[in-house]
Amino acid sequence: MFFVSIDFSRNKFEGEIPNGIGELHELKGLDLSHNRLIGHIPQSMGNLTNLESLDLSSNMLTGVIPAELTNMGFLEVLNLSNNHLVGEIPQGKQFNTFTNDSYEGNLGLCGLPLSKKCGPEEDSPPSPNKFCSEDKFGFGWLPVAIGFVCGIIFGIRLEYFVFLIGKPRRRVNNGSTQMVQMS
């Protein structure tokens, strides 16, 4: 018994696509769209030679599209849109039949069928520092470090003023004025 089609779309799955996905040789349809998948598209997906439909759209996948995916000779539907893929789109077999819609929202992609041509700088993926310098919230470590230092300084000054003022005292009003020290 084997799965013909797997649809795990819109499940808020997180993490990377496992390399073992390439062991599902009889799979005809795979939909992992609209999740929170990160990392690269596994090269092992090229082993899914019976696959007819692949939808990895609307995730946070990075890196290049593996050339091994061109081994999917039966692939009729491909949707890799709205990720963070970069580099030249592989050519060959079914990949020559897909339109711009399959790749839209990946500003780092170039080559056919897109109008963006690949130059020498697009052939290689950008340096990891471009993607690793910012976390998933869109800012790097510098603002966090500045906030941490400011918080430490504020905390030390607050503790210093509390020490100068002494322990807090409370006034008890029962007709006479007397101070009671709080312990």
Structurally, the chain folds into a number of domains equal to 1
Average pLDDT rounded to a whole number, residues 63-81: 92
Percent of the chain with pLDDT over 70: 70
* Residue 172 located in a structural domain: no
Average pLDDT rounded to a whole number, residues 55-64: 95
More reliable by pLDDT, 117 or 134? 117
Q: pLDDT at residue 133 above 50?
A: no
Give which of 119, 83, 87 is closest to 103, Cα–Cα: 83
* Residue 101 located in a structural domain: yes
Q: Which of 52-56, 83-87, 143-147 has the lowest mean pLDDT?
A: 143-147
Give all strands of the β-sheet with 36-39 in edge-to-edge order: 14-16, 36-39, 60-63, 84-88, 108-110
* Residue 174 located in a structural domain: no
CATH number at residue 74: 3.80.10.10
Question: Could you list the residue range(s) of the whole structural domain that residue 70 is in?
Answer: 5-110
* Residue 129 located in a structural domain: no
Q: Partners of 28 in the beta sheet?
A: none
Q: What is the pLDDT of residues 85-100, one digit of tens each?
A: 999 989 888 888 888 8
d(CA 5, CA 109): 28
Mean pLDDT, rounded, of the chain: 80
Q: pLDDT at residue 35 above 90?
A: yes
Average pLDDT rounded to a whole number, residues 14-43: 93
* Residue 49 located in a structural domain: yes
* Residue 159 located in a structural domain: no
d(CA 92, CA 107): 22
